[in-house]
């Protein structure tokens, strides 16, 4: 089956991001396809490489990046939500005149159309949030 | 499932946006409205339903000056221009909050819990905010 995944909550504050990760990983390991993971609302905070959790805790951001590397997963951070919350890649830094970037490896910033497209292209869109 | 096609030959699916939050206090309501407006460009079969505190999103006469937030309730009136015309509200949620259709900024069809369940059953994609 082809899944689309939407993550609506930030890391550590809320379990939605953990559950979304576990679901995505399990689906891929079972041989299913994941068309895209779309990060919205505070979910965009899953895409900052500046996260530094305690050493004995899971690293939620790195975990997503590694999963994306392994399965060539498309991790998309919503641009409008990212701008509000300060998630920045090279293009955004240039466009908005910011002095730094923080996007994590294998994440990319794009528009809400990517979420709608995931809904259209996937057999199931699974939303993780409150 | 046989999906309909758009004029350009794309797939048309039934999208339902479920709005469950008060308009202020968290950003869910505002950002979900942004999804609906952007999504409208994709020529999908869109419905919106307002449940729980989500019915407050449509309340007439919102005055947000004192909390220094933008009153975005007029945007719901623009949905018609985006061909988003299927708006529903949950009767139980309306009743519990003392609201009637006359209290809302846009016309809605008020549905019972059972009718709502049927509406959700008919959808291809349900986005819950």
ipTM reported for the complex, 2 dp = 0.89
Per annotation, catalytic residue among A37, A76, A78, A79: A78
What are the structural domains of chain A? 2-128 (3.40.1260.10)
Tokens of A33: 């396809």
What are the structural domains of chain B? 13-128 (3.40.1260.10)
pLDDT tens-digit map of A66-101: 999 999 999 999 999 999 999 999 999 999 999 999
Binned average pLDDT, 10 residues per bin, chain B of 129 residues: 68 95 97 94 95 98 96 97 96 98 98 97 95
pLDDT tens-digit map of A39-64: 999 999 999 999 999 999 999 999 99
User: What DSSP string describes chain A?
Assistant: -EEEEEE-S-TTT-THHHHHHHHHHHHHHTT-EEEEEEE-GGGGGGGBTT----TTS--HHHHHHHHHHHHT--EEEEHHHHHHHT---HHHHHHHT-S---BPTTEEEE-THHHHHHHHHSSEEEEE--
Q: Does A112 touch chain B (CB under 8 A)?
A: yes
Is A30 a known active-site residue?
A: no
Burial class (CB in 10 A: 0-12, 13-18, 19+), B11: middle
Instruction: Report the pLDDT value the prediction gives residue B9, as an integer from 0 to 100.
Output: 72
Which chain A residue has its CA at the smallest distance from B43's CA? A116
Which chain A residue has its CA at the smallest distance from B14's CA? A120
**pTM above the 0.95 mark?**
no
Which of B27, B42, B126 is closest, CB to CB, to A116? B42
Compute the residue count for chain B.
129
Instruction: Report the pLDDT value the prediction gives residue B5, as an integer from 0 to 100.
Output: 76
């Amino acid at each position: 089956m082809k899944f689309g995944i939407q993550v609506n909550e930030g890391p550590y504050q809320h379990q939605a991001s953990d559950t979304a990760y576990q679901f995505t990983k399990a689906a891929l390991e079972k041989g299913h396809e994941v068309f895209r993971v779309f990060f919205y609302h505070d979910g965009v905070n899953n895409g900052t490489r500046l996260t530094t959790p305690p050493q004995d805790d899971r690293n939620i951001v790195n975990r997503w990046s590694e999963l994306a590397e392994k399965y060539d997963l498309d991790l998309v951070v919503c641009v409008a939500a990212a701008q509000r919350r300060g998630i920045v890649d090279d293009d955004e830094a240039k466009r908005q005149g910011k002095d730094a970037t923080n996007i994590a490896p294998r994440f990319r910033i794009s528009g809400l159309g990517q979420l709608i497209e995931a809904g259209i292209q996937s057999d199931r869109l699974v939303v993780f949030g409150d | 499932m046989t999906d309909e096609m758009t004029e350009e030959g794309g797939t048309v699916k039934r999208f339902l946006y479920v709005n469950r939050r008060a308009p202020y206090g968290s950003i869910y309501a505002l950002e979900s409205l942004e999804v609906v407006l952007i999504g409208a460009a994709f020529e999908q079969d869109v419905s919106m339903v307002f449940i729980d505190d989500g019915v407050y999103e449509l309340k007439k006469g919102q005055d947000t000056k004192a909390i220094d937030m933008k009153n975005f309730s007029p945007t719901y009136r623009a949905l018609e221009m985006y061909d988003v015309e299927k708006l529903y509200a949950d009767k139980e949620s309306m009743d519990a909050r003392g609201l009637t259709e006359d209290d809302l900024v846009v016309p809605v069809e008020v549905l019972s819990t059972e009718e709502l369940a049927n509406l959700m059953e008919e959808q291809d994609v349900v986005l819950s905010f």
